[in-house]
Amino acid sequence: MNSLKGSRSSLYRAYLVPVILLACVACATLQDSENRFPRAYITNEEDLVGSWRFGGSRLLLKKDGGFTASDLFAKYFDCAKVDSGGEREKSGKGVWHGRESMGTSVVFLDFSDRCYATLSVGEQQGKIVLWDDLDSGEGELMIMISATE
C-alpha cells in the first residue's frame, strides 16, 4: 500500500510543477504587450510527431509516444538525482504526450531517468513551434521549429 501511495505522490508532483509553470507562462502570455511569445495554439499529438530543433538542441517526438532528446535546453523538474533539475541541457529518451492546458497545447516529456520537462505549443509566423521561456535573466525564449523546415 505504501508503494502505491508513494507512486501517486511522485506522479502528483511530476504533474503539479509543470501545471504551476504553465500558469506562470499563461500569465506572461496574457501580459505580452510586445508580442514576444508565440501565440497559443491547440493541436493534436499527430501534428507534433517529428524532429524539432533550436540551436544545438534536438528533439524527436515519435508516433509511438517515445522521444529522443539531444542537448535539449529546457527547465527540468523532479529529477531523481539531487540538484540535477532546473534549467540546463539534457540528452536522453523517454515518453511524451500532449494535452490542452489553459488555452494552448503542451508537450510533457518524461525522461527515463525520472526528469520531467514541458514545452508549450505555439504559432509564430504561420508555423507551429515548441517553446519555453528561459530564466536566463535576459528573458530569453527557446523556440524550437520543425527540423523539416
Q: Which residue segment(s) compose the domain that 136 sits in?
A: 2-146
Q: What is the DSSP string of 46-84?
A: GGG-EEEEETTEEEEE-TTSEEEEEEEEEEEBS-SSTT-
Residue 42 CA to residue 88 CA, distance in Å, equals 27
Residue 5 CA to residue 47 CA, distance in Å, equals 35
CB atoms within 10 A of CB 116: 21
- Residue 11, H or E segment: helix 2-30
Examine the pLDDT at 27 and tell me if it is beyond 50: no
pLDDT band, very low/low/confident/very high, at 29 (cuts 50, 70, 90): very low
Q: Please state the domain count of the chain.
A: 1
Phi, psi (rounded to 5 degrees) for 90? -150, 140
Tens of pLDDT along 58-112?
999 999 999 999 999 888 888 766 555 688 889 999 999 999 988 999 999 999 9
Provide, rounded to the nearest whole percent, the portion of the chain with pLDDT above 90. 41
